[in-house]
Structure 1
Amino acid sequence: MAKKTVAIGFIGTQLDSGLGAGRWSKWRPTVSLVQHEDTQIDRLDLLYSVRYRSLADTLVKDIANVSPETEVRLIPLEVNDPWDFGEMYAAIYDWVRGYAFDPENEQYWVHITTGTHVAQICMFLMVESRQIPGVLLQTSPPRKQVEGAAGEFTLIDLDLSRYDVLAQRFHQAKEEAIEFLKSGIATRNARFNRLIEEIERVAVRSRAPVLFTGPTGAGKSHLARRMFELKKSRHQIEGDFVEVNCATLRGDGAASTLFGHKKGAFTGAAADRAGLLRAAHHGVLFLDEIGELGLDEQAMLLKAVEEKRFFPMGSDKEVTSDFQLVAGTNRDLRVDVAEGRFREDLFARINLWSYTLPGLAQRPEDIEPNMDHMLARSSAETGHAVRFNAEARAAYLQFARSGEAPWSGNFRDLAASVTRLATLAEGGRISVDQVAAETSRLRWLWQHAQGGAPDARAPADAGLDELLAPGVLAGLDCFDRLQLQSVIQVCRQSRTLSEAGRRLFDKSREQRAVVNDADRLRKYLGKFDLRWDDVVREPA
């Protein structure tokens, strides 16, 4: 059995009005709904204000005259100001919530030709959000006015999933946004690409705080700025991108820089200062190394994020700033919370959207596209095209992807390396000899940056007699002792347990579906009753 057609709409106090026989000589949108011979309206639900009851009764009679099989239900809807969006939306929303929809047996057409523009917008929103399970109905007068002419009508289905062209355009826009966040670099690491896809959705749909964790140089600041630029291009924010490295903030200057101060708030405060939170009003505030903030500043920041207001230093008057917070850190804030260095309530507030950006060594397949991107950028800046010859390219990538290359500075190290190669290239070609010289430079850089020169403070056994319980060293085979010495040396050259694990398991980790280098290393050390802190602690 075919579904019944139910039309829902407002009485048009101007377009539907008219008295006497003359009213039939003009086009009235509500009456026109039942004047189409090939379209049956089974029920018409008309919303109206009681002060227009006389008009409503007239419409009921006229509709019965034209289409006696159409049931008309008059629904009083009172609003003090029909042009007040909040009041109108609330009234329609409450009515819709109480409406007994029966989509299995009825189809709903929402007439948006009548009513104030505010009412029409509200009805559109009801259909778009599926609060009303129907389609929009738009009517228009006949091109030539003839008595009894019905005019035309159009049905508009807001279920965008039915429109392939629109779906393709939305998909294209999403892909363009993802490419924008990746700076146009065709990254190949599946985990990183999935992470960027989610960040894209969050960037365009949310104004909640975002937390980026990861090693220095992994791209936290760059990604935060790209998020801002994406939101700016979508007209979602109006303000600026304000960035501050919290590791540079100390003493009274920390609170002053962030929250501002009044003149005379402390020694040296010679004039009022607005502060960076207010500079980020209606924009994005990026707090890099947020874990370096003092506890007092953390408390003030929590209030500013939650309430959008705070007290500048030395002021008894609150100020406001509506900004989106993006934070970055290379620390494990969970550890800092447990040890009392970071406020648990602030961590909970900024941890709604938390993403760990992998270092370059964890994305070996992305070294090549990033290298090409940086080389192209360098060529554009200098005006001279530079390329690797085939042998040099293969040699550089072999080294860059090997366990010899920890990329401790991540993309900063890669950018510096590519810049050196491009600058020294003869005739626009990077040679094998240049690559050999550059890889030697990188080995030297990483060796000294990580304390990787021969460990002058450790004897040949890496201090095993001090680390291991009495008698354990004597019971180790030469193989086990040499292996443990090497592991400890790598640990002392690394900044974190995870970094040491990545270097030690650089090959086998590629064969694993689930990678947890830190846990593997922790268990290995545990076989000798050793902990990470014991291994890397400076000797007395």
Structure 2
Amino acid sequence: MKKRTVVIGFVGTKLDSGKGSARWEKWRPSVALAQHDEILIDRFELLHDASARSLIEQVTADISSVSPETAVVPRQVNLRDAWDFEEVYAALFDFARDYPFDPEREDYWIHITTGTHVVQICMFLLTEARFFPGRLVQTSPPRRHGPGEAGTYALIDLDLSRYDQLAQRFSREQVEGVAFLKSGIATRNARFNTMIDEIERVAIKSKAPILLMGPTGAGKSFLARRVYELKKARHQIDGKFIELNCATVRGETAASTLFGHVKGAFTGAGADRPGLLKSAHRGLLFLDEIGELGLDEQAMLLSAIEERRFLPMGGDTEVRSEFQLIAGTNRDLSEEVMEGRFREDLYARINLWTYVLPGLRERSEDIEPNLDYLLAQFSEENAQMVRLNREARNCFMQFATSHEALWTGNFRDLLASVTRMATLADSGNITEAIVRGEIRRLQGLWLRLGRQAAGAGVQLADVMGAEAAAGLDSFDAVQLAHVIGVCRQSKSLSDAGRKLFSVSRTAKAKPNDADRLKKYLARFALDWDAVCADGH
């Protein structure tokens, strides 16, 4: 289907003016652009300020007379000073943000011959930054002027790789895009900043799948939604943001949820269901925990990504859907491929842009700015200012950035912690007592989780031999497996000792965690190297 041509430009208060029949003796850029026989302008969005109302009526009538097929749509843009760069840029930015662009069906020509020089520069900047998703068009008068002469026009595709110095002028747009992805939170972690910088560039320039790896609560879902909102603001997608945690669906339910089904496809399929892939048409599909999908669903997903079409369950008519995929996982998918649990071809397809989101413990310098952000958010939502006094802040930050703070749930743990403290605050003041109570609550939570998880997967027979392992009492076996699990998750003997003795060590004037752990392991004829050999 041929796209419609839409021109967006200001009426020229001098170049487009003229009265009576004599006006046709004059070259007028907006009217002349509609006079070219070889192009058909379907719609002309004619921008103007309040002072140009009478001129806009005349120009509209003249364009209609030379090109009856062109629909002229006057658009008033409120400008007090068309030479004020900040005012003009803001007004045009608001216009671009609110305009219902449809790049799939329409080609946009941004006319930069009329308007003040400031208007022309701002139109150029906004087009280059893709807020106006089109090409520039520049018109020129005929060399030999005569009645009705249309002159010439030139379409300009902006390729900033040809204009290195000019490209520097648009660095602010990238900075704003990066800040948007981070939701305005000040981030001090250099690794995270570098990663977000690259994601911003990839999000704007590429439609390829993106793979976000990292522990639960590291912000994969949040970042995927921000990428969607960034692309939508740039008119690169206009569909929906569709999200699914793949761990919540299995078998037929997974296939039906993703690809839809026709009535009667299986027991319980009482009506047609479109499926999430169809709902994500021209939008973004975020599949969290993609490693939980079955191999059959993985094969169907790969085909849908590559072919942009798929068959619903029980259907024989293909459904077309063009969507961008962002996948999330807390697993190492390369290991899943080696174990045969994840398709190698699908992994290769979604592994073009892979980013590992660090956990909160790896971004300890970001705890304080996120603490302030979450407090401000709570204050706004509850219409009450909530603050930490100096002693309370120092107490919380000392714990939050210490080795004792495991942050197993990452930013979800921090959000829950801030919510609890803010809720308990009297008159919006979080005291040191409230903080110390919260610290005890977090320590208890992480201790319970650690006891449940640390020993999982530890095979004592592999560590100390089958005969020695069989000779242990059940109590000793469970305790030793937990200790070995903690050791394998720790950087050193001292680090493991601090975690294992986090409560009892506070009662000692000079705790020697490493020595205590070393003696415990020696009871079973083990040492640090032996217990970590299979874990590192």
Q: TM-score range by the shorter chain?
A: 0.5 to 0.7
Which residue number in structure 2 is paired with residue 339 of structure 1?
A: 339
1:492 is aligned to 2:485: yes
SS in structure 2 of the partner of residue 243 of structure 1: strand
Q: Distance in 2 between matches of 1:451 and 1:505?
A: 16
Which residue number in structure 2 is paired with residue 367 of structure 1?
A: 367
Change (3 A) 1:175 1:138: same
Letter of the 2:141 partner, please give it. S
CA RMSD of aligned residues (A): 4.2
Q: Where do 1:263-278 residues align within 5 Å? A: 263-278=263-278
Which residue number in structure 1 is paired with residue 141 of structure 2?
A: 140
CA apart distance, 1:500 = 3.8
Which residue number in structure 2 is paired with residue 429 of structure 1?
A: 429
Letter of the 1:140 partner, please give it. P
Letter of the 1:467 partner, please give it. V
CA apart distance, 1:316 = 1.8
SS in structure 1 of the partner of residue 327 of structure 2: strand
Q: Distance in 2 between matches of 1:403 and 1:395?
A: 14
Which residue number in structure 2 is paired with residue 59 of structure 1?
A: none
1:27–1:141 CA contact under 8 A, matched in 2: no
1:71-127, Cα deviation, whole Å (9 max, x unpaired): xxxxxxxxxxxxxxxxxxxxxxxxxxxxxxxxxxxxxxxxxxxxxxx9x99xxxxxx
Q: Distance in 2 between matches of 1:489 and 1:322?
A: 48
Which residue number in structure 2 is paired with residue 467 of structure 1?
A: 463
1:281–1:322 CA contact under 8 A, matched in 2: yes
SS in structure 1 of the partner of residue 198 of structure 2: helix
Letter of the 1:373 partner, please give it. Y
Q: Distance in 1 between matches of 2:420 and 2:413?
A: 11
1:13-37, Cα deviation, whole Å (9 max, x unpaired): xxxxxxxxxxxxx999xxxxxxxxx
Change (3 A) 1:444 1:146: closer
CA apart distance, 1:250 = 1.3
1:528 is aligned to 2:530: yes
Q: Distance in 2 between matches of 1:527 and 1:503?
A: 10
Q: Where do 1:62-461 residues align within 5 Å? A: 139-141=140-142, 167=167, 169-451=169-451
CA apart distance, 1:501 = 4.0
Change (3 A) 1:400 1:175: same
Q: Distance in 1 between matches of 2:166 and 2:395?
A: 47
Change (3 A) 1:159 1:415: closer
CA apart distance, 1:141 = 4.6
Q: Distance in 2 between matches of 1:502 and 1:315?
A: 57
1:490–1:504 CA contact under 8 A, matched in 2: no
Letter of the 1:492 partner, please give it. G
Q: Distance in 2 between matches of 1:453 and 1:359?
A: 18
Identity of aligned residues (%): 57
| TM-score, reference length from structure 2 | 0.61
Q: Distance in 1 between matches of 2:342 and 2:461?
A: 37
1:151-207, Cα deviation, whole Å (9 max, x unpaired): 9999x9978689899545411111000000001001000000000000000110000
CA apart distance, 1:486 = 11
CA apart distance, 1:468 = 2.3
SS in structure 1 of the partner of residue 355 of structure 2: strand
SS in structure 2 of the partner of residue 402 of structure 1: coil
Change (3 A) 1:380 1:303: same
CA apart distance, 1:453 = 11
Q: Distance in 2 between matches of 1:269 and 1:470?
A: 52
SS in structure 2 of the partner of residue 354 of structure 1: strand
Letter of the 1:353 partner, please give it. W
Q: Distance in 1 between matches of 2:26 and 2:245?
A: 67
Q: Distance in 1 between matches of 2:199 and 2:139?
A: 38
Change (3 A) 1:468 1:240: same
SS in structure 2 of the partner of residue 171 of structure 1: helix
1:201-234, Cα deviation, whole Å (9 max, x unpaired): 0110000000000000000000000000000000
Change (3 A) 1:158 1:259: closer
Letter of the 1:199 partner, please give it. I
SS in structure 1 of the partner of residue 378 of structure 2: helix
CA apart distance, 1:146 = 9.6
1:262–1:272 CA contact under 8 A, matched in 2: yes
CA apart distance, 1:448 = 0.7
Higher Rg of the two aligned structures: 1
Q: Distance in 2 between matches of 1:266 and 1:152?
A: 63
1:348-385, Cα deviation, whole Å (9 max, x unpaired): 00000000000000100000011110010000000110
Where does structure 1 lack aligned partners over 5 or more consecutive residues? 1-25, 29-48, 50-117, 122-127, 129-135, 474-484, 508-523, 536-540
2:454–2:482 CA contact under 8 A, matched in 1: no
CA apart distance, 1:140 = 2.6
Q: Distance in 2 between matches of 1:525 and 1:352?
A: 42
Q: Distance in 1 between matches of 2:203 and 2:493?
A: 34
Change (3 A) 1:350 1:399: same
SS in structure 1 of the partner of residue 451 of structure 2: coil
Q: Distance in 1 between matches of 2:493 and 2:189?
A: 19
CA apart distance, 1:243 = 0.2
Change (3 A) 1:487 1:192: farther
SS in structure 1 of the partner of residue 270 of structure 2: coil
CA apart distance, 1:525 = 8.3
Q: How many pairs are equivalent?
A: 367
Letter of the 2:450 partner, please give it. Q
Which residue number in structure 2 is paired with residue 104 of structure 1?
A: none
CA apart distance, 1:314 = 0.7
Q: Distance in 2 between matches of 1:353 and 1:176?
A: 22
Letter of the 1:382 partner, please give it. N
Letter of the 2:389 partner, please give it. N
1:25-57, Cα deviation, whole Å (9 max, x unpaired): x999xxxxxxxxxxxxxxxxxxxx9xxxxxxxx
Change (3 A) 1:525 1:364: farther
2:460–2:481 CA contact under 8 A, matched in 1: no
Q: Distance in 1 between matches of 2:333 and 2:453?
A: 31
Q: Distance in 2 between matches of 1:409 and 1:402?
A: 16
Q: Distance in 1 between matches of 2:442 and 2:528?
A: 33
CA apart distance, 1:392 = 0.8
| TM-score, reference length from structure 1 | 0.60
Where does structure 2 lack aligned partners over 5 or more consecutive residues? 1-24, 28-37, 39-106, 111-127, 129-136, 470-477, 498-525
Letter of the 1:468 partner, please give it. M
Change (3 A) 1:406 1:491: farther
Change (3 A) 1:447 1:258: same
1:264-288, Cα deviation, whole Å (9 max, x unpaired): 1110011111100000000000000
